[in-house]
């Protein structure tokens, strides 16, 4: 066996065209007399209609027949400048994309030459060229795998009397059709699917909510004479369409982008109303309180150094006196030019400060206030704890040990979502296994009242479908039609759905109870106990000091 390799160069670079010609000294078959120009013209015209250059820019030619036929046909095919070409005796350089989306020409003269056809997916466009003497052998091939592979392509059968016949097996009508080689027109087999059953795999809890998926398939079936079947039992042989919940780590080239969106959502706890005692701190922010404390300390130091009457007191007594001036006015005598001026200004400022403080407290008591929500990525990293699983590790979130309970105020979850939060919640409620008649509604109510989606989303993409390759172009056409028409949005906007919504309470419409002021009562009791202990300690220390003075 001799192999001769020819490399074609153009413009100083290697073109993607490699020719491997196999010469077999034992071949004794006589070559039929075929007019190369007509043969090539018919072949190229069929290829042009079957594989448009904008979709299939590259042509793979598998030369498995005798050498004379290759010499008669290949030069004219290779010289055609529209496509780039690879000519070989084997399907070389088969990338994943080439296996599922490419165009090939098989030039054969033996049934064994079809062994490599099964390497390609069903969406690959294939043209078979073989002599008429092989026609019966090809049609009645006992090997089911090769038979199914042969039905993928178009058969060009040549005869000794300069005639060509072009055949095609229609997988939907289960019939063989003939194409006139003098007036080649590739039929659109997708116009009539002859009752073909399009099977879509989807979980029942999803199909009950996302009803547009079934409506979309019904419209395709009505237009193309097909039937539709939805099932939650997956079968690789019978399943044609699968809507993807998430496209993370999906690198398949046959994914069809569709209507709607999918994303990874973070479920965070809702903020609870602040306790009523928080109104004592909330009127001023932290910087105002720090500024006021610094002012009091500065005045206390100044009075202790330069004061005439109040300056004689202990430093802590001066601090307490300044705080009392702010709340109820002076309680101790003060005098001197310095003390009079500085304390007068401080009392004026205290009047303005206390007035604004009281008015803010009154307004805060009239409506319900909530803490800050968890929305941004930084807030999720700072406040959320996740279960230690692959999703949390993928996003590098803080986790809590499995089996422990961090509490509802910190526990967050990562869930796949579709379109919006409401539809995702309803889909999740359909998975609740409970004999109670209202278990799903209770789940939805509890979920909405206690949790929500953070505004930060991850891996947000249009909804994608895994579609069998022979239906891919059909779905691309109709999904584009849905995009342009806006049917998807119109369908759900005009569909009656339960109004599951959560609204923050705005105004306080309840009586202040004893438990609401419990913290204040605790503070009052603790303050009274500390005051009594301080008074007792002062009394004991004072009595001892008097006794020591008398003894001396």
Domain ranges of the chain: 36-179, 190-274+368-503, 276-361
Distance CA 214, CA 226 (A): 13
- CA separation (Å) from 302 to 268, 293, 309, 315, 499? 51, 14, 13, 10, 64
Q: What is the pLDDT of residue 217?
A: 92
Identify the residue whose tokens are 């005598």: 333
Q: Based on the number of CB atoms within 10 Å of its own CB, is 430 exposed (0-12), middle (13-18) or buried (19 or more)? A: middle
In tens digits, what is the pLDDT along the chain, a chain of 552 residues? Answer: 333 333 332 333 333 333 333 333 333 344 444 456 777 788 888 888 888 888 888 888 887 776 466 567 777 777 778 777 777 777 655 555 556 667 888 888 777 777 777 777 777 788 888 888 888 888 887 777 778 778 888 998 887 666 788 899 888 888 888 988 888 888 888 899 999 999 999 888 888 888 899 899 999 999 999 999 988 888 877 888 988 887 777 766 678 888 888 999 999 998 887 777 777 777 888 888 888 889 889 988 888 888 888 888 888 888 888 888 887 777 777 788 888 888 888 888 888 888 888 888 777 777 777 788 889 999 999 888 888 888 888 888 888 877 667 666 778 889 999 888 888 888 888 887 776 767 778 888 888 888 889 999 998 888 888 888 888 889 999 999 998 888 888 888 877 766 666 776 665 556 666 666 676 677 778 888 888 887 788 787 777 767 777 666
Dist. CA 154–CA 103, nearest whole Å: 11
Angle, vertex CA 57, rays to CA 70 and CA 23, nearest 5: 20
State the pLDDT at residue 25.
32
What are the tens digits of pLDDT across the range 71-103? 677 777 777 787 777 777 776 555 555 566 678
For residue 103, what are the CA distances in angstroms to 7, 42, 78, 126, 233? 21, 16, 15, 6, 34
* Dihedral-angle region of residue 256 (phi above 0 means left; psi in -120 to 50 means alpha; beta otherwise): beta
Q: Which of 150, 108, 146, 103 is nearest to 123 (CA)?
A: 103
Phi-psi region of 275 (alpha: psi -120 to 50; beta: other; left: phi over 0): beta
Fold assignment, 36-179: Rossmann fold (3.40.50)
Instruction: Tell me if the pTM is above 0.85.
Output: no
Facing residues of 255 across strands? 466
pLDDT at 267: 92
Helices (H), 173-211: 204-207
Q: Which of 69, 82, 66 is nearest to 40 (CA)?
A: 69
Say what the pLDDT of residue 552 is. Answer: 60
Give Cβ neighbours of residue 423 (< 8 Å, ≥ 6 apart). 209, 210
Residue 265: CA count within 13 A, CB half-sphere: 22
pLDDT of res. 266: 93
**Cβ atoms within 10 Å of 432's Cβ, excluding its own:** 14
- 417 close to 411: Cβ distance less than 8 angstroms: no
* Helix ranges restricted to H, 225-366: 286-306, 315-328, 337-364
DSSP state of 507: B
Helix axes 315-328, 337-364, angle to 10 degrees: 50
Element (H, E) at 59: strand 58-63
Return the sign of the alpha-carbon dihedral for residues 53, 55, 59, 65: negative
Strands of 72-153 (E only): list them: 84-88, 103-107, 125-131
Residue with tokens 């009950």: 208
Rounded CA separation 316/534 (Å): 14
């Amino acid at each position: 066996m001799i192999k001769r390799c020819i490399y074609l160069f153009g413009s100083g670079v290697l073109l993607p065209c490699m020719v491997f010609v196999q010469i077999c000294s034992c071949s004794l078959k006589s070559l039929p007399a075929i007019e190369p120009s007509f043969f090539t013209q018919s072949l190229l015209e069929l290829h042009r209609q079957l594989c448009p250059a904008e979709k299939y820019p590259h042509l793979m030619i598998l030369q498995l027949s005798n050498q004379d036929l290759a010499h008669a046909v290949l030069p004219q095919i290779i010289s055609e400048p529209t496509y780039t070409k690879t000519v070989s005796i084997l399907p070389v350089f088969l990338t994943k994309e080439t296996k599922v989306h490419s165009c090939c020409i098989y030039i054969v003269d033996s049934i064994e030459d079809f062994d490599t056809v099964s390497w390609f997916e069903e969406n690959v466009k294939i043209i078979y060229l073989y002599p008429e003497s092989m026609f019966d052998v090809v049609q009645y091939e006992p090997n089911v795998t090769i038979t199914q592979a042969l039905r993928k392509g178009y058969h060009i059968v040549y005869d000794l009397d300069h005639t060509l016949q072009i055949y095609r097996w229609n997988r939907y009508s289960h019939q063989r059709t003939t194409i006139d080689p003098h007036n080649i027109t590739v039929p659109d087999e997708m116009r009539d699917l002859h009752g073909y059953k399009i099977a879509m795999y989807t979980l029942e809890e999803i199909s009950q909510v996302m009803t547009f998926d079934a409506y979309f398939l019904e419209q395709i079936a009505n237009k193309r004479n097909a039937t539709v079947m939805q099932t939650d039992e997956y079968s690789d042989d019978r399943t044609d369409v699968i809507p993807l919940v998430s496209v993370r780590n999906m690198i398949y080239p046959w994914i069809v982008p569709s209507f709607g969106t999918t994303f990874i959502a973070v479920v965070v706890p809702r903020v609870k109303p602040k306790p009523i005692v928080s109104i004592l701190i909330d009127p001023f922010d932290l910087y105002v309180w720090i500024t006021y404390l610094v002012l009091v300390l500065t005045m206390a130091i100044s009075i202790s150094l330069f004061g005439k009457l109040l300056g004689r007191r202990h430093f802590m007594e001066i601090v307490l006196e300044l705080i009392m001036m702010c709340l109820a006015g002076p309680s101790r005598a003060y005098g001197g030019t310095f003390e009079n001026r500085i304390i007068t200004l401080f009392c004026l400022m205290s009047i303005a400060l206390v007035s604004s403080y009281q008015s803010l407290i009154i307004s805060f008591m009239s409506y319900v206030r909530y803490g800050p929500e968890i929305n941004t990525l930084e807030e999720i990293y700072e406040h959320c704890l996740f279960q230690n699983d692959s999703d949390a590790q993928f996003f590098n979130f803080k986790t809590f040990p499995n089996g422990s309970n961090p509490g509802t105020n910190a526990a967050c979850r990562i869930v796949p979502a579709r379109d919006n939060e409401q539809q995702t919640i309803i889909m999740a409620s359909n998975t609740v296994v409970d004999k109670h008649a209202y278990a799903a509604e209770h789940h939805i109510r509890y979920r909405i009242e206690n949790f929500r989606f953070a505004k930060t989303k991850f891996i947000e993409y249009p909804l994608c479908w895994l579609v069998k390759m022979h239906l891919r172009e059909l779905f691309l056409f109709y999904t584009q039609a849905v995009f342009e028409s806006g049917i998807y949005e119109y369908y759900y906007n005009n569909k009656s759905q339960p109004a599951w919504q959560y609204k923050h309470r705005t105004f306080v419409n309840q009586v202040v109870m004893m438990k609401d002021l419990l913290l204040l009562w605790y503070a009052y009791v603790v303050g009274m106990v500390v005051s009594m202990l301080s008074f007792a300690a002062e009394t004991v220390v004072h009595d001892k000091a008097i006794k020591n003075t008398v003894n001396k």
